[in-house]
Amino acid sequence: MKYQNFLFVSGLSFILSSLQILPVLSLTSSSNISGASPARQWNWVSSFPNQLSSRLQAELADAKKLGVKPLNVQTQIKTAAFDSVISAGTIKWAIDEAGNLLIIPKNVKGSEIYHSVLTNGAPVAAAGEAEMAGDKTNGYFLLMISNYSGHYKPTGDTIDLGITAFKKAGVKTDSAKKVVQDPKKYS
């Protein structure tokens, strides 16, 4: 029965992925009353492809040359590498198709690092820029979050996915300033 469910979900994911609609693991899933393992919930969200893919290989090579590797916030928070990236300045963030929240520094040695580096150019469920302060001893605070990304052009409503993901990883988001880019505002 479990195998049948797996086939159903996998098949559905494939069909919806081809339509650029992705199921991502709910970022707000909560434990059930008995305290057993959290129930998986699926949120249905849009997928945003890299719209500037022609220079992808050069972007990846430049990032590699500068020693930039994406950090997975859920698993690498409270590490020295994480503290170093968030304290250096603006970060770029994205949620990949598997629901991972990834970050990179926006600038290294004066060179801009692009969102495509976060997922090797793969589509994202959400992306933008953010400012974060704090450290592993005293906690982390999201100061600002936006959906700025010329590569993926995510819609404004995806910012909430980012906020939820940072919060779930342990970042305090209550005071964060939301900067929303919405094409509808420029009509």
User: Which of the 8 DSSP states describes residue 48?
Assistant: B
Nearest to 176 by CA among 125, 141, 136: 141
For position 72 contacting other proteins by CB under 8 A, the verdict is no
For position 64 contacting other proteins by CB under 8 A, the verdict is no
**Least CB distance to other proteins at residue 134 (A):** 7
In angstroms, the CA 69 to CA 171 distance is 21
Between 72 and 83, whose beta carbon lies closer to other proteins? 83
Between 99 and 128, whose beta carbon lies closer to other proteins? 128
In angstroms, the CA 124 to CA 99 distance is 9
End-to-end Cα spacing for the chain: 50
Which secondary structure element, helix H or strand E, spans residue 58, and what is its range? helix 56-65
Among the residue ranges 6-14, 35-43, 68-76, 87-95, the one whose residues contact other proteins (CB under 8 A): 87-95
For position 18 contacting other proteins by CB under 8 A, the verdict is no
Among 27, 68, 106, 145, binds other proteins (CB under 8 A): 106
Site for other proteins in 134-173 (CB under 8 A): 134, 137-139, 141, 143-144, 146-151, 153-154
Which residue, chain included where needed, has tokens 């990032």?
A: 63
